[in-house]
Amino acid sequence: MRVFVTGASGHVGSAVLPELRAAGHHVVGLARSDASAAAVEKLGAEVRRGDLAELDLLRREAAAADGVIHLAFRHDLMTSGDLAGAAEADLAALRALAGGLDGSGKPLIGTSGTAMLVTGGVTGRSGTEEDVFPDGGYRIDAENFVAGLAARGVRSSVVRLAPTVHSSLDHQGFIPIIIAAARRNGYAAYVGDGANRWPAVHTLDAAVLYRLALEKAPAGSRLHGAAEEGIPFRDIAAAVGRAFDLPVRSISPAEADDHFGFLGRFAQLDNPVSAAITRELVGWDPVRPGLLADLTEGRYGAVTR
């Protein structure tokens, strides 16, 4: 397949490109800078210069492809607190990509996050792929748009990624931000009793899931990129403390924003999720090390911010 990938040089994209090429697919990667273009080319993909704001370009590339994987996201807006702006930019890009695929039966894989299950109202149990919410929430509108493309003749699916997509490729994700906060403040922290749980997935396992979604996910499906169902946040903090020889302590909810920055609210989410349906539906079998192993074994040792 000729596969058009946005976010091709990013954390997840840098694993998805080799995974696709190893399976025999021809990859065209979107790159908005010289550095990104060089990274995409080094990974063996064809470079297409542009960015998410160039909607006509997105539509043309989607029409020329046999499938699309949408990984790009305006993280600069998210980290600055403009969640609405980031979500609007994502939805605009998805509409453009869909415009090039209408009625084709070709796959379009969008990206969401398991944290939206909590904002959607899932509490007290593990979220599943069958949890769906009405429009009107961060990431929810984009997810529903992608799933709804099945009615327009697109084999669409959404990968809900765990908040911790971890590996030595991870330089700007949530774990580096948590590590940076610990080093800046002189201690690793969790909020309250730290019993709230975060799911996790290794970057390379996530890349396999995107390939499987491209190749076989049914139209309108939602998939969970979560190899580990839920790790207590206090265990994550303890692993950071061990890895960087820092004390570990509990902080109050009122202190969370000062310690974690924009992640203060996310650090308090209880977000256990199941990926049982995903494993059965597309044959996904994650085999890479878990999050605590990645932290304890020093794979984040070079992280600085």
261: region left, alpha or beta (phi > 0 left; psi from -120 to 50 alpha)? left
Distance CA 36, CA 33 (A): 5
Query: Burial, 83: exposed, middle or buried (Cβ in 10 Å; 0-12, 13-18, 19+)?
Result: middle
What is the distance, to the nearest Å, from the Cα of residue 179 to the centroid of all Cα atoms in its chain? Answer: 19
pLDDT tens for each residue of 62-81: 999 999 999 998 766 556 66
**pLDDT cut 70: percent of the chain above it:** 95
At 186, list the tokens: 């002189």
Pairing between β-strand 197-202 and β-strand 228-232 as defined by DSSP bridges: antiparallel
Quick check: 238 and 291 in contact, CB under 8 A? no
Global confidence as pTM: 0.94
List pLDDT tens digits, range 132-184: 998 777 788 999 999 999 999 999 999 999 999 999 999 888 999 999 999 99
